[in-house]
Structure 1
Amino acid sequence: MNDPLILFGLHTTLFELLAFVLSVTTVALNIRQNHWAWLFAIVSSAAYGVVFFNSRLYGDAGLQLVFMIVSVWGWYSWLHGAAAGAPAAGRPHQLAVSTLDRAGWLAAGAGWLLSYLVLAWFLRSYTNTDVPHTDAFLTAGSLVGQVLLSRKKLENWHAWIVVDVLYVGLYVYKGLLLTAVLYALFVAMAVAGLLAWRRTLVPLARPA
């Protein structure tokens, strides 16, 4: 599965190719707000965990395990999480798209910054990665994006657009060219997701 192969002139492996296909399927289902996206997210995260570990992207590799755990929570939240947020139209138990309030924006920003600082220290101190700060920053941003996605917050797409643009450069540098192409595709899909979710947005209730 990790033997090198060439696809359309790009050096890759069967594991990376499998993760590529599963990841595209995941995002496509996320755009459609289809809960089966979470199943594909779990499997694609497992596949990419192997790919990233072999490329010494330990922050990203560890993040895949976190993604698998968060995906279980996200799957449940999408199907039964309306008690903690707005219900989807015609589906009283399923969560609908909403936006962050000021406190939510601050929490997301603080979570990204704190996670970055902790991860950068850990990667510098305990691994042989050659990109500790970049790996840490994008890992932290991906975690924030995944949590926001789990709660169907529109801003998850903003986080993914920023993260995915930067990931393209990182994966080109690491020689994961197929994954770089994937993340360039993810940028376009994140923009599409932002527009699609905005059309179904349930606005925050304003105080009287």
Structure 2
Amino acid sequence: MIDWLLHGTIPVAGGELLAREVVGNLFGLASAILGMKRLVWAWPVGVVGNVLLFTVFVTGELSGASSDPLWGQAGRQVFFIAVSLYGWYRWSRSRAAGGAADGGAITPRWATARERLALIGLAAAGYGAAYLLLLQIGSWGPQTEAWILAGSMLATYGMARGWVEFWLVWILVDIVGVTTLVRAGFYPTAAMYVFYGGFCVVGFIAWWRAQRAAEREPTGPDAAEEVAA
């Protein structure tokens, strides 16, 4: 099984997919579903997918294509792992403290004006730093990959904090990601990203509804919802 996961392929129309690519994306989808439900398991499940996808992006073997490594895509997997540990810790603490009134680990909320300004500043700084780094180490498309890397950082951190806006950031990342993957010839994974984009819309609506429900019932067991970082 391990040998198949590391070296196996799955035949599809017109070619084949790496087993790691498919399984990694399935773990990513499972993490997104658990995240939409605000369950702590979203984080460790996501880490497994991140590790598998890192090995795919960093070798340039995506969808069986021979290409330069997508360092932006690979780099964000490393960041996902780091932030997932933070999110895992934060959601576990919130869950232990009683969680949300509807059973979720956290209660979603909109970011404050100050937090949004901070996110914009981090987005600009993160994009600039990622762009300069990718220019130095080489990348298939540093402009788009820099946004994918910076946007992914913000979205994952926003999820850890429980901000509803993180779904909107993911949608923007997916739009750029799909464009990049199509131009690079990675069509199967691009199709998966299209699906993820649609799922992000569903997730946004689910968290928005949960946030509105929490506003109507502010005295639930998650009244002290904001766990210290």
TM-score using structure 2 length: 0.80
Secondary structure class of the residue paired with 2:108? coil
Displacement, 1:165? 1.5
Match status 1:37 vs 2:42? yes
Query: Structure 2 residue aligned with 1:113, among 100, 117, 124?
Result: 124
Structure 2 gaps, min length 5: 1-5, 61-68, 219-229
- Is 1:74 matched up with 2:87? yes
- The SS at the match of 1:6 is strand
| Distance in 2 of aligned mates of 1:90 and 1:11 | 43
Runs (4+) off by over 6 Å: none
Which of 98, 101, 112 is the equivalent residue of 1:89? 101
Structure 1 residue 172 displacement after superposition: 1.5
SS in 2 for 1:88: coil
Amino acid at match of 2:154: V
Query: What is the letter of the counterpart of residue 52 of structure 2?
Result: A
- CA distance in structure 1 between the partners assigned to 2:11 and 2:89 by the alignment: 39
The CA distance in 1 between the partners of 2:180 and 2:192, in whole Å, is 12
Deviation string 1:116-158 (CA, Å, 9 cap, x unpaired) is 1011011102x22131111111110010000000111100000
Offset at 1:177?
A: 2.0
Aligned AA for 1:34?
A: L
1:197 matched residue in structure 2: 207
Task: Say which of 144, 163, 172 aligns to 1:134.
Answer: 144
Which AA in structure 2 matches 1:159?
V
- Over the aligned positions, Cα root-mean-square deviation in angstroms equals 2.3
Task: Tell me how far 1:171 sits from its aligned partner.
Answer: 1.2
Cα distance per residue 1:17-45 (max 9 Å; x no partner): 11121111111111111211111110000
Cα drift, residue 79 of structure 1: 2.2
Matched-pair contact (CA < 8 Å) for 1:73–1:150: yes
Larger-gyration structure (1/2): 2
Classify the secondary structure of the residue corresponding to 2:11: strand
Q: In structure 2, how many angstroms separate the alpha carbons of the residues matched to 1:170 and 1:2?
A: 25
The aligned amino acid for 1:162 is L
- 1:15 aligns to 2:26 (yes or no): no
Does the aligned pair in 1 maintain the 2:39–2:105 contact within 8 Å?
A: no
